[in-house]
Amino acid sequence: MAELSFPKRPYRTKGGVHAPHNKNTAHKESVVLPVPALVALPMTQHIGAPCKPMVKVGDTVDVGQQIAGSDAFVSAPIHASVSGKVKKIDKITMPDGSKVDAIFIESDGEQRLSPDIKPPQVDSLSDLITAVRDSGLVGLGGAGFPTAVKLNIPSDKHVDTLIINVAECEPYITSDHREILENSWDVISGIITVKEFLNIHRVIIGIENNKPDAIKALREIADSSVDPEDEIRVLPIKATYPQGAEKILIKACTGREVPVGGLPSDAGCLVMNVGSIAFIARYLKTGIPLISRRLTVDGGCIENPVNVIVPIGTPIKEVIDFVGGYKEQPYKLIMGGPMMGISLPNDELYVLKQNNAILALSEKEAKFNEPSACIRCGKCLDACPMRLQPLELANAANRGDIDGLKLYNAMNCMECGCCSFTCPAKRHLVQNIRVGKALLQKAKREAVAASKGGKK
Amino acid sequence: MEQKLHVSSSPHFKGNNSTRRIMLDVIIALCPAAIAACVIFGLRSLVLIAICVATCVLLEYVSRKIMKRDATIGDLSAVVTGLLLALNLPVDINPLIAMFGCLIAIVVVKQMFGGIGMNFVNPALAARIVLLVSFPSAMMHWAPALGAPAAAAIDATTSATPLVAEAGTYSYIDLLLGRCGGSIGEVCAVVLILGGIYLVIRKVISPIIPCVYLATAALMSLIVGLDPLYQLLSGGVLLGAIFMATDYTTSPVTKWGKVIFAVGCGFFTIMLRQFSNMPEGVSFSILLMNILVPLIERATVPRTLGYIKKKKGEQK
Ligand code: SF4
Ligand code: SF4
């Protein structure tokens, strides 16, 4: 195997937009939310198969006790984030509008730790994968893909590079940034664990250059004796949106391109969010599963923007009240960042595992003109980091033109929002393309159904 | 929470550019040319510009109204069309002919095809060509410019354009400053270049089209034995390359599409100048390439990130 080198500076990536950073909370110490009276834990807080409840109404549960799980490969178990009684198991509406079962736990305020909790014994890669699965960890950067599945790299793929994603390119969000400043040793020890078990000798920490203090903190540790072979390096990357998108980050850090429809492992890379990697380190030390997380609460309507560490399942309303409530009526409430987050119909939803921010945006921040006719300025093409043609995709989607969607590679769109952001006519390009992608998937399913017996 | 929250698809942030802002930038970029026109040909130029702009805006408003579509004059694109058309006319043209040009541009070429973004040829350019064909003598009657060399005068009221004048009549300096016959906006090279630089700095246009256009035209001039610099500075090349060929709607959106488009424009401009009996090749060449835009775009779909050309039989 050829010696792997570390890039001196990031590789060129195309497109992207200069969204305002608004990192108002970067220099504020995170605060810890007092134990809420009630939490709700939906059965899908991850990509993959939903979990099944393992407790009944009336049961007493302890912090960290597993309360739901699934046998499916792509899934992640769910643990009680407070101690108390299971009040009900009922359907709740998720941010995307779907309805799923959720376990409601009434807290007794004791935060009694489950007696089963003990640090896992990890001696091999498969131990690590099992441990990570048991911890309930999903990608904490927003997508919510079960981390154990990610670590379980198929034997026909050769992964030689671990990339730690600290781009945090979405405006406002600073939860990863705070994670580094507050827990930098966890980050590095998590990296060392993963790289050793996966036998990876090149770790690149991709971090946007607008976080000099975090870069310094990581460098200090990465250059110390914990990394004698100098296999962990920090690579400052440009601070444009969306440098943190997996495929773009891989390109910036290694120069490699993930093939269309492929996974990072097809480009020899494993990309992990910094919060997830630090969590692994903590879990191996303490055995406490994923029951709380740090999230950024910000936006023009929030009185005191700050990062809050909250038990998973806390009502959003409670988190917002804790930081001082709204200073004006929000125009939009967003779970996640302003570029890719989901806008919520009300604040009666609950914090999910992969939830990295709650933003209450004012009318001034988030209201735009009505869309007008496309003037074919081509700005959406220049902004698209995937080098697609958003205007053609949107047109094809609006026409219902399957061939056009295929020709212009609709499925390669990652819905980053750069095209809509930049469009002077304020066209709803992402929304149209999403419809187009759904059309394509439907057509594909129909084609498969039509040729039954053919290969999938 | 009392009031309802607004729910929509991401992104929830948008940039602050707008169609109106872009059109305003184009207008700003054309201002030096308009001012130069007033200096060179007198205040009559201003009257002509005012007539064209007012007519275009009015026609846009009326035609949208009649077609029961929402008003779009606020986006300022009609102002740009009017301005461009005026700059493409001789100063002493009959105002009625100019207004007829506006009708062609706004109603026939733009609104009948669905309005901004839908027309397949450049409205101002198409109008100019229609006028050129319908009123050739009015459209090729060039009043003397301020400070034009005496040798260029044909009689008291007309002077020759650089393209028909005898060699040596005009110096490069004459062409740069606009001391020559021609339509009001095309004669002064300096102000056009200034406007182009502004548009590039403001990221309204990409420099690809003007640069490739001019480079191709220069190369072609060399090949057919013309003086390249003289060709670039005379006639409507600069106005065409900077302001007409870069029209969003009628030029390709892809990078390589822009290159091909501009090469075509440059090539045909010089070919028409050299080998047809029309003195002016710019309008026709851009128009021709306008029509080819859909084909060019189809042929230049950019390679998406991670796209690897599949070899036959390599399917997994
Ligand atoms: S950015 Fe908007 S107006 Fe410009 S080409 Fe794309 S869709 Fe059309
Ligand atoms: S087309 Fe898709 S990938 Fe490209 S900018 Fe738009 S949302 Fe992003």
Question: From the list A346, A391, A409, which residue is nearest B304 (CB)?
Answer: A409
Ligand 2 centroid, distance to A430 Cα (angstroms)? 7
Q: Which of A173-177, A407-411, B160-164, B310-314 shows the lowest per-residue confidence on average (mean pLDDT)?
A: B310-314
The A residues from 313 to 352 touching B (CB cutoff 8 Å) are: 329-334, 338-347
Structure confidence at residue A368 as a pLDDT band (50, 70, 90):
confident
Query: Do the domain assignments include residue B23?
Result: yes
Backbone angles phi, psi at A41, to 5 degrees: -120, 100
B123-145 in b/e form (b: 16+ CB < 10 A) is bbbbbbbbbbeebeebbbebbbb
Same domain flag for A267 and A412: no
Structure confidence at residue A283 as a pLDDT band (50, 70, 90):
very high
% of chain B with per-residue pLDDT over 90? 61
Cα separation, A271 vs A54, whole angstroms: 32
**Minimum CA distance residue for ligand 2 atom 4:** A384
Query: Do the domain assignments include residue B5?
Result: no
Contacts of B21 in chain A (CB under 8 A): 424
Q: How many structural domains does chain A have?
A: 3
Cα separation, A182 vs A284, whole angstroms: 18
pLDDT at B90: 92
Contacts of B72 in chain A (CB under 8 A): 372-373
Ligand 2 atom, smallest distance to A242 CA:
8
Q: Find out whether the beta carbon of A51 lies less than 6 Å from any atom of ligand 2.
A: no
B243-277 pLDDT per residue, tens: 999 999 999 999 999 999 999 999 999 999 888 87
Cα separation, B46 vs B35, whole angstroms: 8
pLDDT at B47: 95
Same domain flag for A226 and A129: yes
pLDDT at A268: 93
CA dihedral A214, A217, A218, A220 (to 10 degrees): 150
Structure confidence at residue B157 as a pLDDT band (50, 70, 90):
low
Same domain flag for A240 and A97: no
Query: Do the domain assignments include residue B2?
Result: no
The answer to whether residues A94 and A43 touch, using CB atoms and an 8 Å cutoff, is no
pLDDT over 60 (residue A13): yes
Contacts of A143 in chain B (CB under 8 A): none
Question: Which of A286, A311, A334 lies at the terminal end of a domain, its last residue?
Answer: A286
pLDDT, mean over chain A: 91
Query: Do the domain assignments include residue A281?
Result: yes
Cα separation, B265 vs A241, whole angstroms: 36
> What number is the average pLDDT over the span A39-43?
94
A80-93 pLDDT per residue, tens: 999 999 999 999 98
pLDDT at A225: 80
If you measure CA to CA, which chain B residue comes closest to A258?
B306
Same domain flag for A179 and A270: yes
Query: Do the domain assignments include residue B316?
Result: no
> What number is the average pLDDT over the span A6-29?
91
The answer to whether residues A59 and A31 touch, using CB atoms and an 8 Å cutoff, is no
**Minimum CA distance residue for ligand 1 atom 7:** A391
pTM: 0.90
pLDDT over 90 (residue A63): yes
Query: Do the domain assignments include residue B313?
Result: no
**Which ranges in B67-170 belong to alpha helices (H)?**
77-87, 95-102, 123-134, 136-139
State the CATH number of the domain containing residue A261: 3.40.50.11540
B74-124 pLDDT per residue, tens: 899 999 999 999 999 999 899 999 999 999 999 999 998 888 988 889 999
Question: Which of A286, A314, A349 lies at the terminal end of a domain, its last residue?
Answer: A286
Cα separation, A240 vs B117, whole angstroms: 29
Same domain flag for A302 and A266: no
pLDDT over 90 (residue B147): no
Ligand 1 centroid, distance to A380 Cα (angstroms)? 5
Same domain flag for A109 and A65: yes
Ligand 2 centroid, distance to A106 Cα (angstroms)? 42
Q: Find out whether the beta carbon of A413 lies less than 6 Å from any atom of ligand 2.
A: yes
Residue that is written with structure tokens 């998108």 in the block: A245
Interface touch A424/B5, C-beta < 8 Å: no
Interface test with B, best of A376, A386, A455 (most B CBs within 10 A): A376
pLDDT over 50 (residue A455): no
Which helix (H) or strand (E) segment holds residue A450: the answer is: helix A429-450
pLDDT over 50 (residue A390): yes
pLDDT over 80 (residue B159): no
Among B236, B161, B154, CA closest to B192: B236
Query: Do the domain assignments include residue A435?
Result: yes
Which residue range(s) make up the domain with B123?
Answer: 19-147+154-299
pLDDT at B314: 40
Ligand 1 centroid, distance to A430 Cα (angstroms)? 12
Q: Which residue has the higher pLDDT, A47 or B199?
A: B199
pLDDT at A56: 92
> What number is the average pLDDT over the span B146-161?
71
The answer to whether residues A126 and A68 touch, using CB atoms and an 8 Å cutoff, is no
Contacts of B12 in chain A (CB under 8 A): 332, 334, 338-339, 341, 343, 359, 361, 366
**Minimum CA distance residue for ligand 1 atom 6:** A380
Query: Do the domain assignments include residue A268?
Result: yes
Same domain flag for A340 and A390: no
Same domain flag for A273 and A322: no
pLDDT at B11: 92
How far, CA to CA in Å, does B99 sit from each of B35, B37, B205? 21, 19, 28
Structure confidence at residue A453 as a pLDDT band (50, 70, 90):
low
Token pair listed for A368? 């735009």
What percent of the residues of chain A are helix, what percent strand, and what percent coil, each to the nearest 5? 30, 20, 50
pLDDT over 70 (residue B310): no
Same domain flag for A150 and A280: yes
Query: Do the domain assignments include residue A70?
Result: yes
Q: Find out whether the beta carbon of A388 lies less than 6 Å from any atom of ligand 2.
A: yes
Question: Which of A286, A312, A339 lies at the terminal end of a domain, its last residue?
Answer: A286
- Neighbouring C-alpha atoms within 13 Å toward the C-beta of B188: 25
Residue A27, Cβ neighbours under 10 Å: how many? 11
User: B206 to chain A, minimum CA–CA distance in Å?
Assistant: 10
State the CATH number of the domain containing residue B212: 1.10.3430
Give the ipTM.
Answer: 0.88
Q: How many structural domains does chain B have?
A: 1
A120-167 pLDDT per residue, tens: 999 999 999 999 999 999 988 777 889 999 999 988 899 999 999 999
Ligand 2 atom, smallest distance to A429 CA:
6
Token pair listed for A127? 């131990």
Structure confidence at residue A3 as a pLDDT band (50, 70, 90):
low
- For chain B, the residues whose C-beta falls within 8 A of a C-beta of chain A are 1-3, 5-15, 17-19, 21-22, 72, 75, 77, 114-118, 206, 248-249, 253-254, 301-308
Which helix (H) or strand (E) segment holds residue B244: the answer is: none
Which residue range(s) make up the domain with A71?
Answer: 34-117+289-361
Query: Of B62-76, B204-218, B226-240, which has the strongest mean pLDDT?
Result: B204-218
A327-360 pLDDT per residue, tens: 999 999 999 999 999 999 888 899 999 899 999 9
pLDDT at A224: 83
pLDDT over 90 (residue A172): yes
Structure confidence at residue B316 as a pLDDT band (50, 70, 90):
very low
Same domain flag for A235 and A136: yes
pLDDT over 80 (residue B315): no
Structure confidence at residue A98 as a pLDDT band (50, 70, 90):
confident
pLDDT at B156: 64
User: B64 to chain A, minimum CA–CA distance in Å?
Assistant: 14
Query: Do the domain assignments include residue A85?
Result: yes
Cα separation, B9 vs A95, whole angstroms: 12
pLDDT at A252: 95
Query: Do the domain assignments include residue A326?
Result: yes
> What number is the average pLDDT over the span A218-245?
89
State the CATH number of the domain containing residue A99: 3.10.20.600
Which helix (H) or strand (E) segment holds residue B255: the answer is: helix B255-275
The A residues from 254 to 293 touching B (CB cutoff 8 Å) are: 257-260, 262
The reply to whether A15 touches chain B by the CB within 8 Å rule is no
pLDDT over 80 (residue A456): no
Same domain flag for A282 and A293: no
Query: Do the domain assignments include residue B183?
Result: yes
